[in-house]
Chain A
Amino acid sequence: MAIIVNLDVMMAKRKIGAGELAERIGITPANLSILKNQKAKAIRFSTLEQICRVLDCQPGDILEYAEEAEK
């Protein structure tokens, strides 16, 4: 996937655990794990908004575009 989710980095910076973050943004820990492990195929604006609100950051701090290696 060309989009990298840097949620781990922001969580470490804000010193917040996965369980607490999941609870505060209103998604299940399983869904948060999908997002953290780069397995998500899409993210809702509402989820992104909640993540940015709780972690006090911008979408660009969480999502990053990286050129994919040619197959």
Chain B
Amino acid sequence: MNHNQPSTACFRRSILLSQGLLALFTAVVVFLDIRCQWFWEWSFDSGILGTVRQSDKYLFLGCLFGCSLPAYVLLYSMHILLKRVQHGSVFTPENVRLLRTVSLCCFLAALLCLVSGLRFPVLLVITVAAGFVGLIVQIVKNVFQQALCMKDELDFTV
């Protein structure tokens, strides 16, 4: 029996909810990648991008696909992380590595949006949001690293 594994129904429901939301986010990213043409036209017509020309389309699509790559890596990392937490292995070097990957993906997306934000100012909001989330995950990663050292100490306390 794994003593690290909470057996409450609440924990299982929480994990299930997180997995469901993860699947939803993945579906949204896949949808935006497949319907990128529609997304550009909708953004252009609705005017949320500000004053842009049709010729800015490729910059917009480049930003969209550029952000998709870290998004897929991030979603996959979070999926693995959730699986590992579900099975009771929380404070492990592998999870620290996954959190570092998630954090780097957020910073990469923030950087891409920052560059595109020079042309589409609305993307600066995503830059700030992604950068902030990246920072939070980075701090959580540091906490996990510290907890890993403490767990190691505790495991060898008789």
| Chain A contact residues, CB within 8 Å of chain B | 27, 31-32, 34-35, 39-44, 47
Contact = CB atoms under 8 A, between A and B. Distances in A.
5 contacts: A39-B156, A40-B156, A41-B157, A42-B157, A44-B157
B45 interface: no
Interface residues of B, number: 5
Interface string B122-158: 0000000000000000000000000000001100111
A12 to B, nearest CB: 19
Contacts of A31: 158
Interface string B51-77: 000000000000000000000000000
A47 B156 CA distance: 13
A40 B157 CA distance: 6
A31 B155 CA distance: 9
Nearest to A25: B158
Contacts of A35: 158
A19 B156 CA distance: 19
Nearest to A32: B158
Residue from B152, B156, B157, B158 having most chain A Cβ neighbours under 10 A: B158
B145 to A, nearest CB: 18
B149 to A, nearest CB: 11
Give 5 closest A-B pairs by Cβ, nearest first.
A41-B156, A42-B157, A35-B158, A31-B158, A40-B158
A35 B156 CA distance: 8
B128 to A, nearest CB: 43
Contact of A34 (B152, B153, B156): B156
Nearest to A33: B158
Contacts of B158: 27, 31-32, 34-35, 40, 42-44, 47
